[in-house]
Structure 1
Amino acid sequence: MDIFVTGASGYIGSALTRTLIARGHRVRGLARSAAAEAVVRGHGAEPVRAALTDVDVLARAAADVDAVVHTAATETADRADVDRAAVTAMLDAKPGAFITTTGAPRARSSRTPVAEDDTAPVEGPLAWLAEAEARVLESGSRGAVVRPPMVYGDGGGPVSRLVAQAAADGVARHIGDGANRWSTVHVRDLALAYALLLETEATGVFHVSDGHESMADLMTAIGARAGVPVASWSLDEALATHGWGAGFLAADAVLDASRITALGWTPAVGLGIPRDLLSTS
């Protein structure tokens, strides 16, 4: 297949691009800078030089491929507006398939696995994700949505950022007793799930998870990797220090991945976050 990947130089997009190339697909990857272009070429893909706001370029790229996988996102306050314009432009080009990426907070907070249709109320800072999912699923293209949980592995992603934060703070903190749990997935196993969705006729929403970890266990492993002690603090303290995003680390996000496993996906790389962080290999 000919596939256009947004975010191809990023954490998830890089793993996905390498996986698709290894499976014999041809990939064009969005690259917003010369450095990003070099990364995309290094993966074996063809760079498309543009930002996520360059909707005309995105539309032309989407028109020339069999499928689009959208993993890119801005970190700016207008993230929802940028995503809406970018995805609309690409969908209007009518690619055969379109896979977008949202996240575990779209599912209902639960300490037991929840299925894809068991969603959180549409409110708060990430309420726009509901619209983002519907936009793809209700388009004329074959649409699919991937909701990654806590992604780890290969020295990057949110877990790596938590290690860096713990090192900077001199302590790894969980909120309350840390008994809340999050689903996890290794970034290369996540990439395999995207590839499987591209290579089948699958549509709809898919959770991708290789297991579940308590925040206490996660922060213990992060503290060991960062060489700092582990402590508890309150949700109010976490919110005051790190803003609204800290609230997600107090929630439960345990996902049922039976839909993707029914398509033949199984974790091939992941060790689980604590074991991955503590591994010397």
Structure 2
Amino acid sequence: MHVFVTGATGWVGSAVVRDLIAAGHRVSGLARSSEKAVALAATGASVVEGSLQSAAILQRAAGQADAVIHTAFRHDFVHGPRDQDFSSFLESAAEDQRVIALLGEVLAGSDRPLLVTSGLAGLPPGATETDRPNAAVPRKSEAAAHALTERGVRAATVRLAPSVHGMGDYGFIPTLVRLARQTGVSAYLDDGANCWSGVYRDDAARVYRLALESGTTESVYHAVADERIPFRQIAEVVGRHLGLPVEARPRAHFGWFAGMAGGNMAASSAHTRAVLGWRPAGPGLLSDLDQPAYYA
């Protein structure tokens, strides 16, 4: 199968590319700079030079593929990939919707699948694949995919756990670590009983491939290994490694991160495991965080 991957050099997308190639699939991937293009080519993938603003390039690449995986989402970095501020999140979410619609236009009238990426925000605690996100959630990736299915496009959503972890992670856990270093306390909200879920990066990548190989029969897949981890336990591991106190703090302490720190993002992946035969093999979130290299 020839798969076109957006976000092919990103944290999740690069793992998806490696997994697909290792399984014998042919991959073309989007790269927005010459440096990223070199890194992508080294994996054995064909390089599609362009960005999420390159509508014609995106549609041409999608039109030449047997399937499309959309993992790209433009994040805001202040000084580097470990320093996000999410100041343009609404703009990025709108761009994401436009890209999904563009990809869907090319795939309409065919049986070629499109997998888009979303998260667990706006879902009830312990959500299953059949639950639908609150309409107030600003990221509309899943809604955009659903709109395509109503037009006959074989589109589905892979919901990622809030922590897609592993060495080199630059997502929400490093944000929490950085905040602890800056403030001198590894903090949680209220009693810290709100739960996150987690998935090892390579395990998450495998969900995308298995979804394609199984015929993309479902509308939603959950890339969730650790289904329910109290946020306080995450803060405790971080505090122990940094030698900092672990204490409750008000929402103001977390700034823009308060919604995530206080979020209840536990979820079940029982259905995804059953239909795909997916068995997470990587370390759990807490054991992964319990490595000194995570704090280097």
Aligned residues: percent identity? 33
Q: In the alignment, is the contact (CA less than 8 A) between 2:117 and 2:141 conserved in 1? A: no
Deviations 1:14-58 (A, max 9, x none): 111111111111111111112221221232212211110111100
Matches of 1:43 and 1:162, distance apart in 2 = 31
Contact 2:4 / 2:68 at 8 angstroms: preserved in 1? yes
Q: Which of these residues, 223, 236, 247, is aligned with residue 208 of structure 1?
A: 223
What amino acid sits opposite 1:200 in the alignment? S
Alignment of 1:132 with 2:148, yes or no, is no
Query: Aligned pair in 2 of structure 1 residues 123, 169: CA closer, same or farther (>3 Å)?
Result: same
Task: State the Cα deviation string for residues 46-90 of structure 1 (Å, max 9, x = none).
Answer: 221111011110000000000000000123342232112211221
| Residue segments in structure 1 that go unaligned for 5+ positions in a row | none
- Sort the Cα spacing of 1:225 and 1:247 in 2 relative to 1 into closer, same or farther, 3 A: same
Q: What SS does the corresponding residue of 1:183 show, helix, strand or coil?
A: strand
Deviates more, 1:23-32 or 1:87-96: 87-96
Give 1:227 deviation, angstroms.
Answer: 4.0
Using the TM superposition, give the Cα deviation of residue 11 of structure 1 relative to its aligned residue in structure 2, in angstroms.
0.4
Structure 1 CA distance for aligned equivalents of residues 48 and 30 of structure 2? 5
Q: Secondary structure at the match of 1:255?
A: coil
Q: Does 1:78 align with 2:91?
A: yes
Letter in 1 for 2:225: D
Paired position in structure 1 for 2:154: 142
Deviation by residue 1:99-145 (Cα, 9 ceiling, x = unmatched) = 0001111422x2xx22122234211534x345223234334332211
CA 1:161/1:45 → structure 2, altered by over 3 Å: closer, same or farther? Answer: farther
TM-score (norm 1): 0.90
For 1:229-278, what per-residue CA distance to the aligned partner results, in whole angstroms no more than 9, with x for missing partners?
3221012x24xx522x4213212111110121112001011x22121111
Which TM-score applies when normalising by structure 2? 0.85
Question: Partner amino acid for 2:183?
Answer: D
Matched, 1:257 2:272: no
Distance 1:133 1:142, change over 3 A: closer
Give the match for residue 116 of structure 2.
100
Partner Cα distance (1:268, 1:130) in 2: 27
Distance 1:119 1:85, change over 3 A: closer
Which residue matches 2:44? 44
Give the residue type in structure 2 aligned to 1:88: A
Is 1:232 aligned with 2:248?
A: yes
Say if 2:121 and 2:137, in contact at 8 Å, map to a contact too.
no
Aligned length: 272
- Aligned counterparts of 2:207 and 2:56: Cα–Cα separation in 1: 29
Q: Distance in 2 between matches of 1:133 and 1:25?
A: 24
1:87 alignment partner AA: I
Q: Would the alpha carbon gap of residues 44 and 223 (structure 1) be closer, same or farther in structure 2, given more than 3 Å must change?
A: farther
Distance 1:234 1:205 in 2: 34
Could you say if the C-alpha distance between residues 224 and 48 of structure 1 is closer, same or farther in structure 2, counting changes exceeding 3 Å? Answer: farther
Q: Distance in 2 between matches of 1:192 and 1:43?
A: 17
User: CA–CA distance in 2 between the matches of 1:275 and 1:16?
Assistant: 23
For the aligned residues, what is the CA RMSD? 1.9
SS in 2 for 1:68: strand
